[in-house]
Amino acid sequence: MKLTQGCFSFLPDLTDDQIYKQVQYCLANGWAVNIEFTDDPHPRNTYWEMWGLPMFDLQDAAGVMMELAECRKVYGDRYIRISGFDSSHGWESVRISFLVNRPPREAEFELVRQEVAGRAIRYTTVGKPAASAAP
């Protein structure tokens, strides 16, 4: 199952050139660029681990690409995303976030229904443990 989170996730995976251009766009806007990785891409898991510090006074995306290459070397078997944080007043939030790396075998999720009082239904997204994931 192809994980779809953040921008561009319904498109084919971005090439390095495309990532470079997106990052350059972030830097041109003065956003701080972060590289984050996780082995638990559950949609409710907002807080991924950071690779190094946010990069905010770079001029050129080559620096970010250098870090990304290193992050991929270490955590190539995990999800890696790049996010751009806009610190300007009124925004102060993440403006862009997109996946830049997927593990060879993607995470699987399923929807669990739970019947509660008054025949109401509650839904929960549950990650399938990697071992039991369908072959």
Partner 1 sequence: MLDVPHASSTDSSETAFDLRKEAETAGITETLQQLEQELIGLKPVKSRVRQIASLLLIERIRQRAGLVSAPPTLHMSFTGNPGTGKTTVALRMAKILHGLGFVRRGQVISVTRDDLVGQYIGHTAPKTKEILKKAMGGVLFIDEAYYLHRPDNERDYGQEAIEILLQVMENQREDLVVILAGYGERMTSFFASNPGFRSRIAHHIEFPDYSEAELLFISELMLRERGYRFSSQAREAFEKYIAMRRTQPFFSNARSIRNAVDRIRLRQADRLVSDLDRMLGIADLETIESADVLASRVFTGGADAVRSTKP
Q: Please report whether residue 128 would count as binding partner 1 according to CB under 8 A.
A: no
Closest C-alpha to 19, from 7, 37, 4, 30: 7
Structure tokens at 29: 């806007």
Which stretch, 2-10, 35-43, 56-64, 93-101, contacts partner 1 (CB under 8 A)? 56-64
**132 lines the binding site for partner 1 (CB under 8 A):** no
Count of residues in the chain: 135
Q: How many residues bind partner 1 (CB under 8 A)?
A: 16
Q: Which two tokens stand for residue 22?
A: 């997106």
**Binding pattern for the stretch 98-127 against partner 1, x by CB under 8 A and - elsewhere:** ------------------------------
Q: What is the DSSP string of 32-91?
A: EEEEEEES---TT---PEESSS-B-S-SSTHHHHHHHHHHHHHHTTSEEEEEEEE-STTT
> Is 21 one of the binding residues for partner 1 (CB under 8 A)?
yes
- In the bound complex, what is the minimum distance in angstroms from residue 55's beta carbon to partner 1? 6
Segment interacting with partner 1 (CB under 8 A) among 3-11, 36-44, 57-65, 96-104: 57-65
